[in-house]
């Protein structure tokens, strides 16, 4: 029997309009430029959002455009920020985002990380004075596309209960990891340290869908499935085992905030708060390494191939198959590249208003 969640998803999929990835990316970039964002930065943001939607991570995809327009128009985010890079050691660099978008600064950090790792085997790069950078997986994948292994970490304002807590403290604090696989798309982990990211709740709300059970609580700390009532998320592991997600959140918080010298979760301005003028000063942290530093490249590639093949052929539950991290995203990418990216009616309405406001060609 189909679940209520599945029925909602099927209904929304039927109602959505399919838009070509190239058209969506062009529209996002054009809107950002019209709002005063420099060409290169607008292109980086559009690339990150469109590629994220292509992989099926709709919470961090093109649905973020209206928010980004508000903050760049309000002055919180500089549309024409001057990114600066300072090499601190043979294996370390700092990228100053100058209170601009996190996406171009993070792509620049990965480029620096790959450059340093190519010469030294390993690199760590921080991004300071940044803003929301979308899906962390974009940047780990960027490194994997250049033959490197990479971690990406970011922090955010308080959305998530600490284990056994009753008030939000940590952010959803993402962790991403990607590794190249010869002849295949990269291995990819891209996850929040909460059960779902906060933007997923907003995505449910925009689609008229309930939040799954054991994911969120209301202002009184009671479990809720109503997106409008969500005041905090549970850490990964839920009520019984949330100490695991809370520990991962702490790890990511230390790397992306404490190590970078940026404010930690509880000291950050809310992403969705009424203040769209004050910069948030987020931090991001990236680790990049060559896969042949500790073993030969042939050994690495053969090991990855053997491991992934073994993993995927493990026995599975009826009607399912065992997948490696990233397999679901790549299957969605193939489907959406062929058919288009589904845009929910509510978001389509926002895009229509944006097109009219900036005198852009409508998305659909």
Q: What is the pLDDT of residues 321-341, one digit of tens each?
A: 999 999 999 999 999 999 999
Any bridge partners for residue 122, and if so which?
A: 289
Output the CATH code of domain 4-358. Answer: 3.30.1370.60
User: Which ranges of 231-295 does DSSP label H, i.e. alpha helix?
Assistant: 238-253
Smallest CA-to-CA distance from 76 within 316, 269, 243 is with: 269
Determine contact, residues 283/148, Cβ cutoff 8 Å: no
pLDDT reported for residue 286 = 98
Q: What is the pLDDT of residues 146-192, one digit of tens each?
A: 999 999 999 999 999 999 998 999 999 999 999 999 999 999 999 99
User: Which ranges of 87-136 does DSSP label H, i.e. alpha helix?
Assistant: 102-120
pLDDT reported for residue 14 = 53
What CA–CA distance (Å, rounded) separates 343 from 259? 38
Average pLDDT over residues 259-288: 96
Q: Give one word for 345, left, alpha or beta, with left for phi > 0 and alpha for psi -120 to 50.
A: alpha
What CA–CA distance (Å, rounded) separates 106 from 215? 29
Average the pLDDT over each of 199-208, 215-224, 328-337 and give the range with the smallest value: 199-208
- Confidence band of 54 (pLDDT split at 50, 70, 90): very high
Q: CA 268 from chain center: how many Å?
A: 18
> What is the number of other CB atoms lying within 10 angstroms of the CB of residue 204?
24
Please give the residue that has the higher pLDDT: either 354 or 214: 354
- Residue 115, pLDDT above cutoff 50: yes
Q: What is the pLDDT of residues 64-73, one digit of tens each?
A: 999 999 999 9
- Confidence band of 11 (pLDDT split at 50, 70, 90): very low
What CA–CA distance (Å, rounded) separates 299 from 54? 32
Identify the helix (H) or strand (E) that includes residue 232. Answer: strand 232-233
Task: Note the pTM of the prediction, 2 decimals.
Answer: 0.92
Under 8 Å CB-to-CB from 119, ≥6 apart: which residues? 90
């Amino acid at each position: 029997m189909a679940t209520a969640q599945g029925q909602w998803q099927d209904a929304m999929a039927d109602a959505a309009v399919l838009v070509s990835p190239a058209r969506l990316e062009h529209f996002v970039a054009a809107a950002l430029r019209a709002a005063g964002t420099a060409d290169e930065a607008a292109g980086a943001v559009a690339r990150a959002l469109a590629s994220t939607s292509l992989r099926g991570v709709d919470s961090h995809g093109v649905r973020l455009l209206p928010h980004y327009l508000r903050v760049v128009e309000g002055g919180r985010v500089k549309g024409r920020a001057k990114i600066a890079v300072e090499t601190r050691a043979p294996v370390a660099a700092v990228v100053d985002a100058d209170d601009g978008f996190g996406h171009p600064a993070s792509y620049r950090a990965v480029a620096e990380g790959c450059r340093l790792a190519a010469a030294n085997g390993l690199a760590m790069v921080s991004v300071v004075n940044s803003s929301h950078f979308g899906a962390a997986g974009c940047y780990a994948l960027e490194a994997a596309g250049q033959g490197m292994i990479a971690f990406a970490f970011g922090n955010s304002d308080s959305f998530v209960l600490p284990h056994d807590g009753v008030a939000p403290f940590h952010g959803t604090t993402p962790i991403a990891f990607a590794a190249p696989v010869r002849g295949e798309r990269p291995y990819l982990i891209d996850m929040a340290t909460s059960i779902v990211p906060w933007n997923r709740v907003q995505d449910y709300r925009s689609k008229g869908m309930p939040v799954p059970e054991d994911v969120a609580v209301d202002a009184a700390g009671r479990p809720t499935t109503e997106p409008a009532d969500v005041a905090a998320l549970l850490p990964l592991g839920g009520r019984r085992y949330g100490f695991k997600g809370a520990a991962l959140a702490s790890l990511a918080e230390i790397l992306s905030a404490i190590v970078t010298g940026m404010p930690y979760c509880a000291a950050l301005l809310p992403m969705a708060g009424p203040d769209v003028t004050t910069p948030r000063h987020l931090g991001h942290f990236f680790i990049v390494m060559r896969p042949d530093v500790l073993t030969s490249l042939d050994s690495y590639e053969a090991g990855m191939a053997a491991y992934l093949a073994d993993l995927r052929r493990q026995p599975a539950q009826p009607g399912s198959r065992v997948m490696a991290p990233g397999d679901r995203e790549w299957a969605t990418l193939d489907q959406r590249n062929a058919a288009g990216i589904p845009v929910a009616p509510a978001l389509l309405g926002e895009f229509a208003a944006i097109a009219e406001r900036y005198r852009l060609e409508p998305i659909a």
